[in-house]
Amino acid sequence: MSTKDNKDIKIVAVVGMSGSGKSTAIEYLTARGIPKVYFGGVIYKAMEEAGIPRTEDGESEKKFREEIRQKEGKDFVVLRAIQEAKNLIAAGQKRIVLDGVYSWTEYKILRKEWPTEMTVVAITVPKALRRKRLAERPDRPFDAQAAAERDRSEIENLEKGGPIAIADYYVDNSGTIPEFHENFAKVMREIGFIE
């Protein structure tokens, strides 16, 4: 079934810099029964197939993510993620959230695949607050230097800025989680993704 002919399909790609609150936004949707396609899961599966263990600090994943895109092409992850989404659609899903769209290449491929079905929503937070949250998070915290290096790497090596810059909507996440949920839900209702 081609999604290009199906007006009922809606896909949301959540983008943002590390520590912006993408996971919080995605959890808000998955808690409502909306399935996600996790781009990082494609990387984890490929690492497992290659016999490369994941490290607690995330360095093995970061290195592999960059190397696999250089070796296999910048479309390595997105093509597999598209197939996962198509499988969900074939199984009857009408709403899907994409978790982990990183690069401009990925954005262009997704936009070509779903020109009207996909909405890109960027989660934004002032850099100082984002860095503070990264330092305080329980899972893989980053100090200021590690956070700055991650930002640089994602912008320079993974073209992460493009999808954020061209997003269809921006949701501020500089307040409390309930405030963020309210702001995010408002956009989701506006595009008809949730009721």
pLDDT score for 9:
96
What is the third-level CATH fold of 3-37+94-190? Rossmann fold (3.40.50)
Task: Return phi, psi of residue 16, to 5°.
Answer: 160, 165
Confidence of residue 2 (pLDDT cuts 50, 70, 90): very low
pLDDT digits (tens, 9 = 90+) for 70-122: 888 889 899 999 999 999 999 999 999 999 898 899 999 999 999 999 999 99
Instruction: Specify the higher pLDDT residue, 139 or 184.
Output: 184
pLDDT digits (tens, 9 = 90+) for 115-152: 999 999 999 999 999 999 999 988 878 888 988 998 99
pLDDT score for 65:
81
Question: What is the distance between the alpha carbons of residues 137 and 142, in angstroms, rounded to a whole number?
Answer: 8
pLDDT score for 161:
93
Query: For residue 189, which amino acid is it?
Result: R
Question: What is the distance between the alpha carbons of residues 110 and 143, in angstroms, rounded to a whole number?
Answer: 33
Mean pLDDT of 52-79: 85
Q: At what angle do helices 59-72 and 76-90 cross, to 10 degrees?
A: 90
**pLDDT over 60 at 153, yes or no:** yes
**Mean pLDDT across the chain, nearest whole number?**
91
Question: Given CA atoms 186, 126, 157, 39 in this order, what sign does their dihedral have?
Answer: negative
pLDDT digits (tens, 9 = 90+) for 28-53: 999 999 999 999 888 888 899 999 98
Domain range annotation of the chain: 3-37+94-190
Cα radius of gyration rounded to whole Å, the chain: 16
pLDDT score for 154:
87
pLDDT score for 5:
53
Which residues are CB-contacts of 105 (< 8 A; sequence separation ≥ 6)? 74, 75, 78, 159
Cα dihedral value 28, 11, 125, 136, nearest 10:
50
pLDDT score for 73:
86
Question: Given CA atoms 59, 61, 67, 73 in this order, what sign does their dihedral have?
Answer: negative
In the chain, alpha helices (H): 22-30, 39-50, 59-72, 76-90, 104-113, 127-136, 144-158, 161-165, 177-190
pLDDT score for 89:
97
pLDDT score for 3:
43
List the strands of the sheet with 169-172, edge to edge. Answer: 36-38, 95-99, 10-15, 118-124, 169-172
